[in-house]
Homo-oligomer: A and B are copies of this chain.
Amino acid sequence: MKIVKLKLKERSYPICIEEGAINKSGCLLKKLNLGSDAVIITNRYLEKKISPTLKNSLKKHNISSKIYVVPDTEKAKSFRYCLNLIDKISKHDKNKRLFLVALGGGVIGDLTGFVASIYKRGIAYVQIPTTLLAQIDSAIGGKTAIDLPIAKNLIGAFHQPKTVIVDPGLLKSLPKRQLKAGLAEAIKYAVIKDESLFSFLNNNYKKIMALDKEAIESIETKCINIKSQIVEQDEKEKKGIRTILNFGHTIGHAIESAGGYNRYNHGEAISLGMLCAAEISCNLKMLRKEQLDKIIFLVKLYGLPVKIKGIALSKIMSSLAKDKKFIHGKNRFVLPVGIGRVKVVTHIPENTIRKAILKYSSPN
């Protein structure tokens, strides 16, 4: 089993990567001495497919568990589910040795982490991510959140999990579209920090899409290492270091939001966001044209969108203005300056942003 240790003093934790790791979860969690009772938050599909394995493994190590099922959509990240979950937890919390397990993708991880952060001023939780996106990104680093009608992720907390169990075997039942969405985040890591990962993604399309064990474990370990190192340096996104993880996310979020969160999924939207950011960088003479073309090629290779369809530029621009990453009313972008290197740039002229988005927009 590969272990990446995320080091944050008393909040440090191991990220365990291995195909079949889910079968060892009881043993892994027992060693961490998190408690005797677990509440597993998951969706209907995973409840049937994966949770029996997890429950058995926990039971073998004398950890009782209850399941709480939430919808498999962003809807689950609401105050309503938050309150219902707390009610469920408090009923199961007899021995005061309870912890939470997020078994699912980013939505379930965010909700579970947030509830763990506020229940009794913070209890333990673990992440067992089941999508590629969650395995390499959202399950790591302790960012938790729920949505309010006025804005996504408006409410949240930094609350680190006690461990993350990454089982690439769980990806086998993942729809291809979601796998690709996860690969968009892998491309992000490659562009911001790791040229060798970029080449690997470029040269191993077939193996990766076939979920070849070694190829996937290799990508995941690289991505998780990058994320861990960044989180270690800037846990609460206060030093401008963690900011680079937002490459592609500024315009990406605006595209998601302007599309009403149903036209593009997160990975697709940030693919488009990465292209726009790279375009801006190219226009500002910070990125060479051939490097921009390499990024476009890789995004295209994995079947991720390279054109924004059916969303008006004006809508994207007005969503952008509301972004919480626009500090003090001024814009701030993470721009690639090569493959594996980015810079945080502020005060980009609105027209430059507008032109870049327009270039990747399609009239249809």
Residues of A within 8 A of B (CB): 79, 83, 86-87, 90, 94-97, 114, 117-122, 143-145, 148, 150-151, 154-158, 236, 324, 326-329
Q: How far is the CB of A95 from chain B (nearest CB, A)?
A: 6
Contact of A90 among B121, B151, B327 (CB under 8 A): B151
Can you give 20 contacting A-B residue pairs, CB < 8 Å? A79-B79, A83-B148, A86-B148, A94-B329, A95-B328, A95-B329, A96-B326, A96-B329, A97-B328, A118-B118, A118-B157, A119-B155, A120-B154, A121-B145, A121-B156, A121-B157, A121-B236, A122-B157, A122-B158, A157-B157
Residue of B nearest to A155 (CB): B118
Beyond A114-B118, A117-B157, A118-B155, list 17 extra A-B contacts (CB 8 Å): A79-B83, A86-B148, A86-B154, A87-B148, A90-B150, A94-B329, A97-B328, A118-B157, A120-B155, A121-B143, A121-B145, A121-B156, A121-B158, A122-B157, A122-B158, A122-B236, A157-B157
Q: How far is the CB of A87 from chain B (nearest CB, A)?
A: 7
Q: How far is the CA of A157 from the CA of B156 in the complex (A)?
A: 11
Copy number in this complex? 2
Q: How far is the CB of A236 from chain B (nearest CB, A)?
A: 7
Q: How far is the CB of A25 from chain B (nearest CB, A)?
A: 23
Residue of B nearest to A96 (CB): B327
Of all A-B residue pairs in the complex, the 9 with the closest CB atoms, nearest first, are A121-B156, A118-B155, A96-B327, A95-B329, A90-B150, A121-B157, A96-B328, A121-B158, A118-B157
Q: How far is the CA of A114 from the CA of B324 in the complex (A)?
A: 20
Q: How far is the CB of A257 from chain B (nearest CB, A)?
A: 15
Q: How far is the CA of A143 from the CA of B122 in the complex (A)?
A: 11
Residues of B within 8 Å of A120, CB to CB, are 154-156, 324
Q: How far is the CA of A83 from the CA of B119 in the complex (A)?
A: 17
Q: How far is the CB of A328 from chain B (nearest CB, A)?
A: 6
Q: How far is the CA of A329 from the CA of B96 in the complex (A)?
A: 7
Q: How far is the CA of A119 from the CA of B96 in the complex (A)?
A: 28
Say yes or no: B79 contacts A154, CB within 8 Å: no
On whether A90 and B236 interact (CB within 8 A), knowing A324-B120, A326-B96, A329-B95, the answer reads no
Q: How far is the CA of A158 from the CA of B117 in the complex (A)?
A: 10
Q: How far is the CA of A122 from the CA of B117 in the complex (A)?
A: 12
Contact of A154 among B90, B154, B156, B329 (CB under 8 A): B90
Residue of B nearest to A146 (CB): B118
Q: How far is the CA of A119 from the CA of B114 in the complex (A)?
A: 12
Q: How far is the CB of A85 from chain B (nearest CB, A)?
A: 11
Q: How far is the CB of A339 from chain B (nearest CB, A)?
A: 31
Q: How far is the CA of A122 from the CA of B150 in the complex (A)?
A: 18
Residues of B within 8 Å of A154, CB to CB, are 86, 90, 119-120
Say yes or no: B118 contacts A156, CB within 8 Å: yes
Residues of B within 8 Å of A118, CB to CB, are 114, 118, 155-157
Q: How far is the CB of A26 from chain B (nearest CB, A)?
A: 20
Q: How far is the CB of A37 from chain B (nearest CB, A)?
A: 11
Residue of B nearest to A325 (CB): B96
